[in-house]
Amino acid sequence: MAVIRDIIPAFELFQPASIDDAVRLIDKYRDDYWVLAGGLDSMDWLKDRLRRPRYVIDLTQINELVGIKDSGGGLEIGAMTPLTQVVHHPVVRDKFGLLAEAAELVASPQIRNQGTIGGNVSQDTRCWYYRGGWTCYRAGGNICYADTPTAINREHAILDADRCVAVSPSDTAPALVALEAQMVIRSSRGERVVAAEQYFVGPGIDITRMTTLQPGELLTSIRIPATWAGAQFYFEKVRDRQVWDFPLVNVASAIKFSNGKVDAARIVVGAVAATPKRLANVEAAIVGKARDEATADMAGRMAVEGAVTLRYNGYKVPLMRNLVKRAIRGSEGGTWTS
């Protein structure tokens, strides 16, 4: 494992005051820069000296990246908005409680004060082999140390692994995918907007990145449409330490009911793959069905189809199955067996 040396190698620090300035800087230094948001992911990399950028662009002085505003019945959240602000925002809590719940389960209060929503969705994976500085696939090498017969891989992927078995560690990401959020990305070429589902990239597409952000691009805001406002939400996170930990598995669901039957649904599971895993087949299967234990059982079974376990992460299969079942049940269905 990497030895924490605490002294960060020297770099040139920029603190732009506007998005335009930040975009100009990352475009100018596109071969050797690091974007600093809340710093909670960055400081590990820098202190471990596993990332040695020559230029660090600190976004904390850009006021236009902070805040939550109404947007046609939905919301637009600045990428540098602290998670605590997301948790306590009245409209988020009232209309998009799923996101408030997910954000509230991120780490600890201190980290939520410092951490930003943009940073939370864009953070790198927590695979310790990768973060230990060894040259695995994700670090440009030719091996996944977590997918070897003797690896310690309790937290790793059970779905969609492609050479690398690292998982997405974000709690807010599954909620944003469930809410059909859109990610606004700026670069010197202009602005592009991608669906949250496409923002996250698996190793099959790009084994060295977790998101679609390319050099020279900056996530500036997250738009949440009104589509799922007021739907029935469910978020649950299972972790080793209740006080402060990354998810072993988390689930986010948004379901609309009509006459007691599922009218529309979005179910997303985190920490089981390199991206938040949207269960489109489960969603399609439960539409038109009653919200009962049979439907939930079926959903749970379908959710884990195709799961491939490693030496130590087999527990994630029943965990994911039950979390999906509980997501269908919702917070009120306390009489079911799981």
> Please, what is the Cα angle at 244 between 47 and 165, to 5 degrees?
70
Q: Estimate the crossing angle of helix 316-329 against helix 293-303, to 10 degrees.
A: 140
Region of 24-32, 77-85, 155-163, 233-241 interacting with another protein (CB under 8 A): 155-163
Smallest distance, Å, CB 135 to another protein?
A: 2
How many residues make contact with another protein (CB under 8 A)? 24
**Residue 113 interacts with another protein (CB under 8 A): yes or no:** no
**Residue 334 interacts with another protein (CB under 8 A): yes or no:** no
Q: Report phi then psi at 71, rounded to 5.
A: -150, 90
> Which residues are 74's β-sheet partners?
71
The rounded distance, in Å, linking the Cα atoms of 54 and 3 is 21
Q: Which is nearer to another protein, 47 or 163 (CB)?
A: 163
Q: Which is nearer to another protein, 124 or 147 (CB)?
A: 147
> Which of 35, 57, 161, 254 forms a contact with another protein (CB under 8 A)?
161
The rounded distance, in Å, linking the Cα atoms of 118 and 86 is 11
Smallest distance, Å, CB 14 to another protein?
A: 27
Closest CA to 106 of 130, 131, 81, 129: 81
> Which of 9, 73, 204, 318 forms a contact with another protein (CB under 8 A)?
204
Sheet order of strands, 55-58 included:
12-14, 55-58, 33-36
Q: Which is nearer to another protein, 86 or 272 (CB)?
A: 272
Smallest distance, Å, CB 204 to another protein?
A: 4
> Which of 16, 39, 67, 133 forms a contact with another protein (CB under 8 A)?
133
**Residue 148 interacts with another protein (CB under 8 A): yes or no:** yes
> Which of 29, 145, 228, 234 forms a contact with another protein (CB under 8 A)?
145
**Residue 49 interacts with another protein (CB under 8 A): yes or no:** no
**Residue 205 interacts with another protein (CB under 8 A): yes or no:** yes
**Residue 51 interacts with another protein (CB under 8 A): yes or no:** no
Closest CA to 130 of 69, 45, 65, 46: 45
The rounded distance, in Å, linking the Cα atoms of 5 and 122 is 25
Region of 3-11, 159-167, 176-184, 287-295 interacting with another protein (CB under 8 A): 159-167
**Residue 3 interacts with another protein (CB under 8 A): yes or no:** no
> Please, what is the Cα angle at 241 between 240 and 243, to 5 degrees?
150
- What SS3 class is residue 46? helix
Spatial neighbors of 329 by CB under 8 A, at least 6 apart, are 234, 291, 293, 296, 336, 338
DSSP string, 256-269: EEETTEEEEEEEEE
Smallest distance, Å, CB 53 to another protein?
A: 19
> Which residues sit at the interface with another protein, rule CB under 8 A?
129, 132-135, 139-145, 147-149, 161-163, 201-202, 204-206, 308
